[in-house]
Structure 1
Amino acid sequence: MFILSLALAAAAAIWGVPWKLAAGLNIGFLLLSFADLAFLPKSSQIRLKRRVPEEMERGLPADVGIEIENHSQLPLTLRIIDDLSDSFARPFPLKRKLAGNTRGTVQYETAASIRGHYTLNRIYIRCSSFLGLWEKQMVKEAESQVKVIPDLTETRRYLENAQSYLLYEGEKIRRQQSGAGEFSKIRAYAPGDDPRKINWRQTAKLQEVMANVHEPEHGKYVTIMIDCGRIMGAELETGNRLEKALEAAMTTAAAALKNGDYVSVLAFSKDIQSYVPPSKGMQHLNFILKALYSIQADAAESNYSGAFQYLQSVQNKRSLLLLFSDVRTFTLEEGALVYLKRIRQRHLFFMLGIEDNILSARAKDRPDTIKSAMLKSMAQQQILIAKREKLRWEKQGLQMAEAPEGGLAAAAVSHYINVLNRGLL
């Protein structure tokens, strides 16, 4: 407004407009401006309420709604900014027009890149006057709690169709459980089923290949260990190593709980971060999720020896011990070998890590230049060292494997099913 008044005065001076006319224009503009100011509603006449889901999955979009109540007689033109953390997508400002004495809703889509518990405290709004000469800024208190949990896409895929999940994703096992257990039902034969389970009588009767289904033995114990140390904070194409480990752990836990087995979870870094005692039933998956959703990668190195020592004190029954960590880092931890030799006498140990895509790509590069040849040689040397260390541990009866970033969950579930099929527990 002040700038426009100066502009009118400058124009009057340049073009020789009489000062009385210029002053009249200025006064008229000021009166119009103050009249427009009267069309701004009071802060108490605007009420806002946020509708946000209690839980959001990391990286997946979620809808948030802001309900607006205009208790004034005046129409509103609003710009809205919600109090989201920087780890959320922020499609602001939101714009909304609302007539007098009406209600409305403005919606937006957001996604969080970092897990954890978040508190959304305020909503910031700017309300424009009728002519747009004035804007009033308001801050509305609207506290909401949001939990950002791991991405459960892999878990849902397994629960929706376990056979299909193992058939197209699993690298070690491409069939469902079969063999031991009581007879359950007869169903259509599916690719990956054991041919020995074909029911020839029903096949001849129905003119369709049918197979017997046996209920697997229940009540086995599965212990999932999740490394939360420094190396697990290494970034991948989507998230970091810890994110993929958590997603794989939740999928494996869901598979075991669906099968009627007991599942316990231990998360550790330098110290024990969380421990969920063994229990069964799908409701136990919620307890595991509640204990793990806010865990972050620690800046300190992992204390494997301390974690195994703690595990020995809380887990006495024989179980499949599944460790999610970095294979190369773990094989250099000589102190853990002492505890693992004891644990191996009671538990069935298996470790899963994520392949180093950069190292593998370097090892496959064409040596077109001296630099590329040196990089290729160094990458191949590192791979050979890792294989040698891995073989040394496997000779102690400690199995290890690496899987692609997107196949970690499938590899873990496939190994679990393989263990059950072979009756190793």
Structure 2
Amino acid sequence: MIRLFYIDLFLGKRFFVAWGISAFLFLLAYFFPWFGIIPQLFALTSLFILVADIVLLYATTKVGVKTSRNAPTRLSNSDVNDIWITSENHYPFVVRIGIIDEIPYQFQKRDIWFEQTIGAKERRSFSYPLRPVKRGLYAFGKLRTFVQSPIGFIQRRFNEDVAIDIPVYPSFLQMRKYEVLAISNRLTDYGLKKIRRLGHSMEFEQIKTYVPGDDYRTLNWKASARQGSLMVNSYIDERSQHIYCIIDKSRAMKMPFHGLSLLDYAINASLVLSNIALKKEDKTGLITFSEQIGTVLSADRRPTQLNYIMEALYKEKTRYLESNLEALYVTVRRTLKQRSLVILFTNFESISALNRQLPYLKKIAKYHLLVVIFFENIELKSLSQKKAQDVEGIYLKTIAEKFIYEKKLIVRELARHGIQSVLTSPELLTINTINKYLEIKARQGI
């Protein structure tokens, strides 16, 4: 018990100030004897206050201050997640507390310190944000609370063993945001294009009475003759179309932007797109690959499909070899039994890198509607926009512009072979991917 008393007791700033003044008074008394017993009286008073502070913090209550952490069961990758801390003061007086939360090592933060003043028998809560940039298991440690009485000579530490492991999943907060926008038809608020229909679906819904504004090409003359008034056929969007997100896990997707790798950007976008496609009553599937095939999840629209996709994406990691599109083509031919929308998330840094993989992309595009989504290098883009100050700056700017131009050549080369593509910055990946999906749906491209 005595050992625990010493372990959890820490001296405060006021203690050192008081005993520093006491030492200074003793020093003055050595040169000025007329100080008398003033230094002794000040030292005894400081000692008495120290004992009183210890009694206040250790003898007035057994519980002291109780602190707890309220964290979600899972964290959303690349999003700001709020962690709540609640402190309850059981002392009969006002206390000042400092809290250290042992957050996971992945955040590389060692200065998590929160100060609060809590009244007698009062309870107070506050939150702080955490933004993970990697998927995986995050281990939260203990909560350490340092309590000061109004005297402030010492601090008493309370250790709460609230260690917990919390998984970080792909961005489900972003998924919910776009889900709400899709349900309320407010996707255009975030820059998603509204595509004009070039025709109508061939999936029949009903025959209804003609009203001004209906497409006269849908007039049903036989029904009109029977009813004695104009009747039109009503069509709905085609459903149960197969949408596959194919994610490249090779070293080309390891490049980080704003702390998040290209693979994680692709995973977040795939989750959002799969959710919206399921809301549109399409079937969604998933394939991951690098030098070998990873996850293969057949397209379906059952209620549990999104959970299967999220669990599969949670476990994916970047590999360090070149991607094998030949193996991907074999898997696509074996798995995809009907014409599907295939959205391939990958990255090409040069036209030569594209030419190595182009034969396999053309084979996939022969049987399916292939959309290749790859990334702009935003660091090179910002470098090309800077004004060159010297010869070295001109050289760097020229090289950056050359690589940017090669990205545009890749888009043209893909279009020349009938393959649709999207060149996007990592931050706009989700919006541009949904844009492309809605555009293809509106134009009935599948």
**Same structural fold, with TM-score higher than 0.5 when normalized by the shorter chain:** yes
Rounded to whole Å, the distance in 1 between the matches of 2:381 and 2:49 is 71
Partners of 2:382 and 2:168 in 1: CA distance: 33
The match for 1:208 is: none
Instruction: Show the counterpart of 2:3.
Output: none
The answer for the alignment partner of 2:204 in structure 1 is 182
Percent identity between the aligned chains? 19
Query: How far off its partner does 1:288 sit?
Result: 2.0
Contact 2:198 2:443 (C-alpha < 8 Å) held by counterparts: no
Match of 2:159 in 1: 139
Structure 2 segments unaligned to the other structure (5+ residues): 1-14, 220-231
1:325 aligns with 2:342: no
Q: Following the alignment from structure 2 to structure 1, what is the Cα–Cα distance between the partners of residues 41 and 97?
A: 33
Q: Is the 8 A contact 1:54 1:145 kept in 2?
A: no
Q: Give the conservation status (yes or no) of the 8 Å contact 1:159–1:255.
A: no
Q: Distance in 2 between matches of 1:72 and 1:367?
A: 64
Q: What is the aligned partner in structure 1 of residue 95 from structure 2? A: 76
- The answer to whether residue 84 in structure 2 is matched with residue 65 in structure 1 is yes
Residues 10 and 392 from structure 1, CA distance in 2 versus in 1: closer, same or farther, beyond 3 angstroms?
A: same
1:178-216 Cα offsets, whole Å, 9 max, x none, are: 611234799xxxxxxx9958999xxxxxxxxxx997421
1:262 aligns with 2:279: no
Matched residues in 2 for 1:195 and 1:352: separation? Answer: 37
**1:361 and 1:94 mapped to 2: Cα distance?**
37
> 1:217, CA displacement in angstroms?
1.4
Deviation at 1:150, TM superposition (A): 4.0
1:29 matched to which residue of 2? 46
Which of 187, 194, 198 is the matching residue for 1:165? 187
Question: Normalised by the size of structure 2, how large is the TM-score?
Answer: 0.74
Provide the residue aligned with 1:222 in structure 2. Answer: 243
SS in 2 for 1:23: helix
Alignment size in residue pairs = 407
Matched, 1:235 2:252: no
RMSD: 4.1
Structure 1 gaps, min length 5: 187-193, 201-210
Residues 59 and 113 in structure 1, CA contact (< 8 A), matched pair in contact too = yes
Deviates more, 1:10-19 or 1:321-330: 10-19
The answer to whether the 8 A contact 1:45-1:72 is kept is: yes
Residue 16 (structure 1) aligns with:
33
- Report how far residue 89 of structure 1 moved: 7.9
Which residue does the alignment assign to 1:126? 146
Give the TM-score, by structure 1 length. 0.77
One-letter code of the match for 1:134?
I
The residue type equivalent to 2:55 in the other structure is A
Q: Any idea what SS the aligned residue of 1:94 has? A: strand
Moved more, 82-91 or 415-424: 82-91
Higher mean alpha-carbon deviation, 285-294 vs 105-114, is at: 285-294
Which SS does the other structure have where 1:382 is aligned? helix
* 2:275 maps to amino acid: A
**Structure 1 residue 97 corresponds to structure 2 residue 117:** yes
Which residue of 129, 132, 140 maps to 1:110? 129
Q: Distance in 2 between matches of 1:399 and 1:382?
A: 21
**8 Å Cα contact 1:184-1:213 kept in structure 2:** yes
